[in-house]
């Protein structure tokens, strides 16, 4: 009997893998994260969008309208350069950068929150896995979405794929998730199953908000996933252990409305490009002090419970 156990167990493992690959996303979440409720920020990404029988996505509407709220910085690879222009003043209120010490002082931090317009939702895993996602297969991708190579949509999609193919910083693991299941798998591989997801999913008005009392450190390691401009939901996820994640209580200056915002402080910036916008805005040098920034409303942040 013992001689037959290994083949039997192998077959059972294959059945489990195949079954999980075809599970609805909600069921996959419950199996993988049985003690973690699915937050609204994720449920909103699971609208029916199968692409079966042809494309059911209005690519122009989704890609061209995917503009992040201007109060939050768009995620940028720290290896890249971002030089502020005349219409983007070098101040923290517009770029979203600040120093960690500002969270523990009497410094007043004011922000003006607006909603984002990135409406892309997740495809089922089997469908997402069937669509190429690489620069060398880009003509095939354009054909799949009936797009011309010189179109504005194609240029945006190409940039997203190239961003996903950029090398990670030393000590930083990165991965572009094209389905909720792959996003879950990556996060678990870096933090384990005892995790929870937080986001800036609260609805906030157009008034200014001022930092209130009750700043909290949520975690000293995390997996942060940044939503990209693409026809369906794609998240650029990276696991950075030399960070501190904060929740910041903001209060509306007009009517006292309260809102909790998530921010990340990078403890070690020594490998960042010296011309990165954060250093220009904060007037500091790489590797000298922790650099913090608010996380966009579309971001998903995984932290240990």
pLDDT of residue 167: 83
Q: Over the stretch 224-236, which tens digit does the pLDDT of each residue have? A: 999 999 999 999 9
- Helix, strand, coil percentages in the chain from 3-state DSSP, rounded to 5: 30, 20, 50
- Could you tell me the sign of the dihedral formed by the alpha carbons of 143, 144, 149, 151, in that order? positive
Sequence-distant (≥ 6) Cβ neighbours of residue 134 within 8 angstroms: 161, 165
The answer as to whether 27 is a domain residue is no
Mean pLDDT of 278-305: 90
- Could you tell me the sign of the dihedral formed by the alpha carbons of 68, 245, 233, 42, in that order? negative
Sequence-distant (≥ 6) Cβ neighbours of residue 58 within 8 angstroms: none
Mean pLDDT of 218-246: 91
Band the pLDDT of 28: cuts 50, 70, 90. Answer: very high
The answer as to whether 237 is a domain residue is yes
Under a CB-based contact definition with an 8 Å cutoff, are residues 21 and 13 in contact? no
Under a CB-based contact definition with an 8 Å cutoff, are residues 295 and 73 in contact? no
- Could you tell me the sign of the dihedral formed by the alpha carbons of 217, 227, 211, 255, in that order? negative
The answer as to whether 1 is a domain residue is no
Mean pLDDT of 159-176: 86
The answer as to whether 264 is a domain residue is yes
- Residue 230 burial (CB < 10 Å; 0-12/13-18/19+)? buried
- pLDDT mean across residues, the chain: 79
Band the pLDDT of 62: cuts 50, 70, 90. Answer: confident
The answer as to whether 29 is a domain residue is no
The answer as to whether 4 is a domain residue is no
Q: What is the residue range of 146's domain? A: 37-304
* Residue 58 to residue 232: CA distance in whole angstroms: 10
Mean pLDDT of 194-206: 76
Band the pLDDT of 142: cuts 50, 70, 90. Answer: very high
Mean pLDDT of 264-293: 90
Under a CB-based contact definition with an 8 Å cutoff, are residues 209 and 259 in contact? yes
The answer as to whether 279 is a domain residue is yes
Q: Is the pLDDT of residue 133 over 70?
A: yes
**Phi and psi angles of residue 174, each rounded to the nearest 5 degrees, phi first:** -130, 155
* Number of folded domains that form the chain: 1
Under a CB-based contact definition with an 8 Å cutoff, are residues 178 and 283 in contact? no
The answer as to whether 15 is a domain residue is no
């Amino acid at each position: 009997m013992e001689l037959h156990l290994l083949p039997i167990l192998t077959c059972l493992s294959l059945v489990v893998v195949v079954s999980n690959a075809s599970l609805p996303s909600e069921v996959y979440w419950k199996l993988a994260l049985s003690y973690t409720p699915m937050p609204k920020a994720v449920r909103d990404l699971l609208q029916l969008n199968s692409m079966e029988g042809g494309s059911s996505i209005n690519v122009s509407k989704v890609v061209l309208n995917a503009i992040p709220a201007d109060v939050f910085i768009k995620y940028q690879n720290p290896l890249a350069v971002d030089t502020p222009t005349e219409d983007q003043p070098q101040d923290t209120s517009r770029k979203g950068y600040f120093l960690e010490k500002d969270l523990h002082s009497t410094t007043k931090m004011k922000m003006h929150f607006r909603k984002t317009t990135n409406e892309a939702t997740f495809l089922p895993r089997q469908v997402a896995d069937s669509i190429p996602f690489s620069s060398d297969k880009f003509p095939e991708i354009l054909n799949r979405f009936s797009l011309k190579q010189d179109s504005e949509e194609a240029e945006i999609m190409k940039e997203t794929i190239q961003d996903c193919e950029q090398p990670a910083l030393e000590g930083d693991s990165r991965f572009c998730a094209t389905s909720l299941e792959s996003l879950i798998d990556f996060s678990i591989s870096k933090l384990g199953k005892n995790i929870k997801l937080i986001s800036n999913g609260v609805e906030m008005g157009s008034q200014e908000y001022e930092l209130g009392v009750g700043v909290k450190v949520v975690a000293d390691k995390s997996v942060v996933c940044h939503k990209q401009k693409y026809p369906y939901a794609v998240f650029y996820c990276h696991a950075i252990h030399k960070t501190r994640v904060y929740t910041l209580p903001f209060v509306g200056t007009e009517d006292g409305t309260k809102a909790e915002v998530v921010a990340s402080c990078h403890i070690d910036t020594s490998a960042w490009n010296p011309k990165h916008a954060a250093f220009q805005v904060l007037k500091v040098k790489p590797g000298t002090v922790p650099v913090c920034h608010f996380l966009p409303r579309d971001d998903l942040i995984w932290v240990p419970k």
